[in-house]
Amino acid sequence: MPEGAEGEARDGELLHLVLDYVGKIAGERGADAQLLLMADMARGLLACDRCSLWIADGDELRTRVAHDVDELRIPLRSGVAGKCFERGKPIVANDPAACPWFNPEVDRKTGYETRNILAVPIFGSAGNAIGVYQAINKREGEFGGHDLRLLMMVAAYSGKSLENARLLEEVEQTQNELVHLLGEAGEVRSRETGNHVKRVGELCYILAREMGLPPRDCDLIRLTAPLHDMGKLGVRDTVLNSPNPLSPEEYEEMKLHTQIGERFLARSDRRVLRVAAQIAGCHHEKWDGSGYPNGLSGEEIPLFARICALADVYDALVNDRCYKKGWPQERVEALFRAESGRHFDPKVVEAYFRCKEEFPRVSRELLDG
């Protein structure tokens, strides 16, 4: 085949590969999954052994994604990646031993042999370097200008995703903290203390995962379950913290916390708060229809609320309160068996018994302050 035709065929292959990956990347929502696909694309385009994406994190560079190795951390200006980051310029090291910045220590530790390296900086929208893209061991021959251009294209593409991911993480973390603060505001006035709302979120997450819910839903219930009792903000102190058993009237007032929370949260159109509203409104409904406020039964009760019902009861019973000692897990389990199909959705109870070993860990890690 004449050289020009061969080159065109190779370009056609590369284009096909890029388009294939662009389609896959567009279908992924998670930043890490997207960045890993980009690393796969770079490895395919450059026909090399490994690619890694390093991001600046304080005074270190750490791998955000990397083929075949666990997370690596290096001082910000060390090694080929560090030098590339510091100078904001690509580095081609086809003979690493002759490269003053190559650190052979990593190969010695991992038993891997680095034959050649190509590193290009990743720039943020403000024009500053935010990380480094590195390709290692071209399968045939050495890294050249064509490889450099391809890797710069992937680095530019990844830079955008990285910045978006960082912004999204920031927004999500802010959202999570606000939700927890809101949930705690509901608890702080009652005798449920400390980390109860966070623990209920974690326990719901474990149950949802065990029941095979999609990862997005597992994250969503972890975020929203801590708001289940925020309607307690609207219940009078004398009722909320009554040292005596509640009178029938007081009990009716206490029950209102479900509707108060639901109404408050449902004022928003945001999906997160709508789901939280459902949980707040229905976490005291019971599978057999004997719960409150609406006497819903079975699958009329939203699934998230059925999960939260069990997690909430578990956490309230196993932990000490100023008015009672915590129950041993076995005693709570006897209650779950007896109440399966009555208070609780039998499928949630079954899920609990499959993953119950994970529950005490949550209590240990999120102790009451």
Between 103 and 294, CB nearer to Fe ion: 294
Between 90 and 293, CB nearer to Fe ion: 293
The reply on whether position 262 binds Fe ion by CB under 5 A is no
Distance CA 6, CA 101 (A): 36
**Residue 57 CB, nearest approach to Fe ion (Å):** 37
Stretch in the footprint of Fe ion (CB under 5 A) among 2-10, 159-167, 311-319, 324-332: 311-319
Helix (H) / strand (E) element for 172: namely helix 145-188
Between 49 and 229, CB nearer to Fe ion: 229
Distance CA 310, CA 343 (A): 9
* Positive or negative torsion for Cα 99, 104, 105, 106: positive
**Residue 107 CB, nearest approach to Fe ion (Å):** 54
Amino acid at 307: I
DSSP-assigned letter for residue 343 = T
**Residue 241 CB, nearest approach to Fe ion (Å):** 15
Q: Judging by beta carbons within 10 Å of its beta carbon (0-12, 13-18, 19+), is residue 166 exposed, middle or buried?
A: middle
Looking at residues 216 to 235 of the shown chain, list those that interact with Fe ion (rule: CB under 5 A): 229
Pairing of β 48-57 and β 60-66: antiparallel
Per the annotation, the verdict on 232 as an active-site residue is yes
**Residue 367 CB, nearest approach to Fe ion (Å):** 17
Catalytic residue among 83, 138, 198, 232: 232
| Nearby residues of 157 by Cβ (< 8 Å), 6 or more positions away | 38
**Residue 224 CB, nearest approach to Fe ion (Å):** 13
Distance CA 127, CA 188 (A): 46
Between 35 and 276, CB nearer to Fe ion: 276
Looking at residues 332 to 361 of the shown chain, list those that interact with Fe ion (rule: CB under 5 A): none
Distance CA 122, CA 165 (A): 14
Of 147, 210, 262, 312, the one binding Fe ion (CB under 5 A) is 312
Between 165 and 254, CB nearer to Fe ion: 254
Distance CA 64, CA 170 (A): 16
For binding to Fe ion (CB under 5 A), which residues are involved?
Answer: 229, 312
Q: Which residues are catalytic?
A: 232
